[in-house]
């Protein structure tokens, strides 16, 4: 049994005032309270070109892709808050996943940064569905690359009205549901012993 799981927490949005950046902090804090070690990162700190295999063949992985991949490898699971752009996953999140999924040597195990890891998903959107349609795609992508995704997820609608000044959710039930994701991912990762 894994005593203190390590999670990488991030939002699929680059915007400074992102609702999803606020949301993932709630889950991250709950995971910490449950005994996990959480590294909160901002994808904006890892600017990447659009994935292009010709570029990769000529130059290898960009330095920021290497740094991000190392972070993914060094953690047991992920807390991901994904915005919904045009009913789907954000370009920034998909691009990060695409770069991090690449192998760097012939003897490197396939999908080393993802296979056997765990994840919890959440979203916040000004729309009525709270980003739910984007989560369907994120869940599918992660499942197909070997990530065990927690069945529970939370989507926060009307996100522009959902957060208090301190970053908490105004609705106590929604706040508790997001906190539960952090705790449940901690419990699941402990039990599965993902390392």
CATH label of the domain that carries residue 149:
3.40.50.360
Is there a domain that residue 49 lies in?
yes
How many whole angstroms separate alpha carbon 39 and alpha carbon 177? 21
Q: Which domain holds residue 115?
A: 6-192
Is there a domain that residue 115 lies in?
yes
DSSP string, 20-86: HHHHHHHHHHHHHHTT-EEEE--GGGS--PPP-HHHHHHH-S-HHHHHHHHHHHTSSEEEEE---BT
Could you list the pLDDT tens digit for every one of the 195 residues in the chain? 678 999 999 999 999 999 999 999 999 999 999 999 999 999 999 999 999 999 999 999 999 999 999 999 999 999 999 999 999 999 999 999 999 999 999 999 999 999 999 999 999 999 999 999 999 999 999 999 999 999 999 999 999 999 999 999 999 999 999 999 999 999 999 988 754
Structural domains counted in the chain:
1
Is there a domain that residue 1 lies in?
no
CB 7 within 8 A of CB 79: yes
pTM value > 0.75: yes
| Residue 177 DSSP SS3 | helix
Is there a domain that residue 171 lies in?
yes
């Amino acid at each position: 049994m894994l005593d203190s799981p390590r999670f990488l927490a991030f939002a699929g949005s680059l915007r400074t005032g992102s609702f999803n950046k606020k949301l993932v902090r709630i889950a991250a804090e709950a995971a910490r309270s449950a005994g996990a070690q959480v590294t909160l990162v901002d994808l904006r700190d890892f600017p990447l070109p659009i994935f292009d295999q010709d570029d990769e063949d000529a130059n290898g992985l960009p330095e920021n892709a290497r740094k991000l991949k190392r972070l993914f490898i060094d953690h047991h699971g992920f807390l991901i808050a994904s915005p919904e752009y045009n009913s789907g996953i954000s370009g920034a999140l998909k691009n990060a996943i695409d770069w991090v999924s690449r192998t760097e040597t012939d003897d490197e195990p396939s999908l080393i940064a993802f296979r056997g890891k765990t994840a919890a998903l959440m979203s916040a959107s000004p729309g009525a569905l709270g980003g739910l349609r984007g989560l369907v795609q994120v869940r599918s992508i992660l499942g197909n690359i070997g990530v065990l995704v927690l069945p529970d997820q939370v989507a926060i609608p009307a996100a522009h009205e959902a957060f208090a000044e301190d970053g908490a959710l105004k609705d106590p039930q929604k706040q508790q549901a997001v906190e539960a994701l952090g705790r449940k991912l901690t419990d699941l990762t402990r039990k599965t012993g993902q390392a």
